[in-house]
Chains A and B, each alone.
Chain A
Amino acid sequence: MATGEKRKYKVIGTRPLRHDGVDKLTGRAQYGADIRLTGMLHGVVLRSPHAHAKIKSIDTSAAAALPGVRAICTSADFPDQVGRIVELGEGAVNMRHLSANVMAHDKALYKGHAVAAVAADSIHIAEEAAKLIKIDYEPLPPVMEVLGAMRDDAPLLNDDVRMTEMGTVKPETKPSNVAAKFLFTKGDVTAGFAKADIIIEREFRTATVHQGYIEPHNATVLWNADGKVTVWMSTQGTFTARQQTAELVGIAVSDVKVVPMEIGGGFGGKISVYLPPVAAILSRKSGKPVQIQMERAAVFEATGPTPGSFMRVKVGATRDGKIVAGEAWIAFEAGAFPGSPIAPGCMCVFSCYDIPDARVEGYDVCVNKPRSNAYRAPGSTQVAFAMETVVDEICEKLGVDAAEFRIKNGAKEGTRRVDGPVYHRIGMIETVEAIRDSEHYQSKLTGPNRGRGIATGFWFNAGLKSAVVATVNLDGTVSLIEGSTDIGGSRTGIAMQLAETLGIAAEAVKPQVADTDSIGYTDVTGGSRVTFATGIAAVEAAKEIQKQMVERAALLWEVDSASVKYEDGKVIGPAEKSFSFAELAAKIHEVGGAVIGHGTSSSAEQGGAFGTHCVDVEVDPDTGKVQILRYTIAQDAGTAIHPSYVEGQMQGGVVQGIGWALNEEYFYDDKGVMRNATFLDYRIPTCYDVPMIETIIVEVPDPAHPYGVRGVGEVPICPPPAAIANAIHAAVGVRMRDLPMSPPKVCAAVMQKK
């Protein structure tokens, strides 16, 4: 559904076949694990069995003596990073912490922390050699939970971490697991709550959850004799991978080339590097290319999941259903090193509502778990679970419709967020209206132990930098080279925007994702930014091609170029002269060289994206199992370039959110060892767990994009846990405030109510 009069497009809004479809369907697409190089060695990473331990010594002599072993590395092989803070595209990173995460220095800070690595002629020899490395550990007590880690007497993970606030540390601050504090205020929260007729304050917890991408991390690295390093890998960002690798091994960025392979899922988890610096050091020491592939257990135990959290949310409203104040206290588990998405969590918690007085306080806290990392709308799903559950309880107590309450209180253009900025044109209310008016919401749900819930979510969406190059071919097609690695079909979405601008078919554009030596700087595929920002770059490139094609036509017709124009895929000159794009493409070499358009995007920033979800569930009161009966998502996509991809992102985000809601969590024993580090025991939803997710694409164009695009990849994961919690309450009358709402917890809550 569109808001207002929709612009007419020829390509945008259609559903062409994806350009990479045949290769992926036939299994010919090349992934990182497919790389084979002459003389390639196989690497294995030895990982800590302890969640927290001092590393007193490492003896690699027996491993080095094993025939077939070509190189061994430990942290001693990496340059000292001191405490440098480096901008890595999506944010500032403490390089000492990043280095210590790639290879433990003097302490192992989580089970699975890399402590050494071996390269050998075969994977089997490398595995045998790794077992021969002797490490003398002094085990330390681990701290696995955020509130426990904040206590003064908690085991300390990092002696160089002190609590920062706005980037600075007070001189008297002692080393602590609390790495950062964030505070946002708006108005007078005490006065705001004084106006409330009803105040609901509740506490929530969410579990550590992994992105669950199917393809494990991998890297193949050749450190050549000339000092140049080539990395083939699965990554969400070749340029940040290049910079991280170069910084961590201590060479110039221009000496590293990252070649992006196809990527089997990332969701934020393939931005930080883990393997490339290790494989690079092993390659330098052995003189041969080295390939390392993670096993699934290592993916769970040693790559960045989303943080577990503790949250306290308080909301006040008047009797007539107007929110007057909100307050939140939020603590996220950063994992072994600082850097959880606590700041966006704080900025998102009240982002869907127009609240006059609010206060949010947040803490980034180190615990003995893997360093947390981005996961689809980082921080927003946790806080949406808390806020949207409280909102539902207010609606229940006031006896008002949950959709109407959200429409009455919803954020809109001009609403000031708790972190300060005022929204431009956004579509929050439109997504609620779409759900309210949907056949699903209007239908009657019948049957015992069945209930319906709704929830809304928000994500900022990023702009950042992108570059593309487009070359006109003689047959009228256009070769499009871009730097954005393609996770969710962005190649086609970008090609369609180029095609729309040129007035040619999407199939006439041949997109290709290039390595870091072949395209200009491009930030990560993350932040729901690629269709927006790389799309802007593609439009710019197309405009440059239009201009050059006009000049070529003028030369061919021997007329002044001012008398020639580009219109609707044609070049039109005086005296009714005209060329189709393909006709002119066939002649461009008669009057010049290649026609090449360049485009970059750097300054455009997106408005936010919103989604509202409606779910029906049935709860088995005897087992606590929650069955999803029906699920509808309405989301503002600005302008849907390829509706199938938009729907796919919406559906995929919902399914991941259902996983957060009902099943997914890291189970740790009392020693800090994860006990479910396989896909058999770490239960992500399958097709047997979810119905077809119904989608409603709302289109409130973003004025910052020439076609009105808003990113769609992240926000669909935010509302599901809250929507399902609200539906469970409607079904069996219990409020679930602890994720996941797994059968034992739901069953216990139902039993307690009885």
Chain B
Amino acid sequence: MPTVYIPPALRDLTGGVETVEGKGQTVRAVLVDLEPRYPGLTAKLCIDDALRPGLMVAVSGTMSRQGLRTPVPANAEVHFLPALGGG
């Protein structure tokens, strides 16, 4: 089952827990699975059915530009990170 790393700023929603497991084959599905257990998590990460501006998701170490549609393989790690650019 995919492991979701909860950003430190949102760990008050998970009782201080750093990682939680959620079922699903996309980031969206994983968040849907987590929401009943951790109410408010989706609202903190998403707005208008998309990741909040300035956020990106990384799945198993690879940043994705597909947002909530990003495929999540079984046993993957999911991280929510600030979006990055470059010079």
Contacts and interface: CB of A to CB of B under 8 A. Distances in A.
B65 A420 contact: no
A331 to B, nearest CB: 16
B86 A463 contact: no
Interface stretch (B7-15, B20-28, B30-38): B7-15
A460 interface: yes
A143 interface: no
A1 B80 CA distance: 36
A527 B87 contact: yes
Contacts of B87: 211, 266-269, 374-378, 526-527, 713-714
Given A375-B87, A460-B86, A92 B64 contact: no
B45 to A, nearest CB: 8
Contact of A85 (B53, B64, B80): B53
B9 A183 contact: yes
Query: Which of A168, A183, A271 has most B Cβ within 10 Å?
Result: A168
Q: Rank and list the top 3 A-B pairs by shortest CB-CB distance, nearest first.
A: A268-B87, A527-B86, A90-B85
The residue among A344, A374, A529 with the most chain B CB atoms within 10 A of its own CB is A344
A271 B85 CA distance: 11
Contacts of A271: 85
A165 interface: yes
Interface string A689-732: 00000000000000010000000011000000000000000000
Nearest to A181: B9
24 contacts: A166-B80, A167-B45, A182-B82, A183-B8, A185-B18, A266-B87, A269-B87, A271-B85, A344-B84, A347-B81, A377-B86, A377-B87, A378-B86, A419-B79, A421-B60, A421-B62, A422-B61, A460-B84, A461-B86, A462-B85, A464-B65, A526-B85, A526-B87, A603-B66
Contact of A526 (B58, B60, B62, B86): B86
A375 B81 CA distance: 21
A91 interface: yes
A343 interface: yes
A381 B64 CA distance: 25
Contacts of B7: 166, 183
Contacts of B18: 185
A322 interface: no
A244 to B, nearest CB: 14
A484 interface: no
A337 B61 CA distance: 31
A459 interface: yes
Contacts of A121: none
Given A374-B85, A377-B86, A184 B8 contact: yes
A602 B69 CA distance: 14
A524 B85 CA distance: 9
B56 to A, nearest CB: 9
A735 interface: no
Nearest to B50: A87
B17 interface: no
Contacts of B66: 603
Interface in A596-624: 602-603, 605
A192 to B, nearest CB: 15
Interface string A216-244: 00000000000000000000000000000
B74 interface: no
Contacts of A167: 44-45, 47, 52-55
Contacts of B86: 90, 268, 374, 377-378, 459-462, 526-529, 714
A269 B87 CA distance: 7
A579 B62 CA distance: 42
Contact of A168 (B44, B77, B79, B80): B44
Given A420-B79, A422-B77, A527 B61 contact: no
Contacts of B29: none
Contact of B81 (A341, A421, A464): A421
A278 B15 CA distance: 51
Contacts of B85: 89-91, 271, 341, 374, 378, 462, 524, 526-527
A376 B8 CA distance: 28
A632 B9 CA distance: 41
Given A85-B53, A165-B9, A166-B44, A603 B64 contact: yes
**Centre residue among A185, A376, A421 by max chain B CB count within 10 A:** A421
Interface in A133-167: 165-167
A211 B87 CA distance: 10
B63 interface: yes
Contacts of A605: 62-65
Interface string A259-296: 00000001111010000000000000000000000000
Contacts of A78: none
Contacts of B65: 463-465, 602-603, 605
A180 B7 CA distance: 15
A312 interface: no
Given A341-B85, A421-B60, 14 more contacts: A86-B53, A165-B9, A166-B45, A166-B55, A168-B44, A181-B9, A343-B84, A377-B86, A421-B61, A421-B63, A421-B79, A459-B86, A528-B86, A603-B66
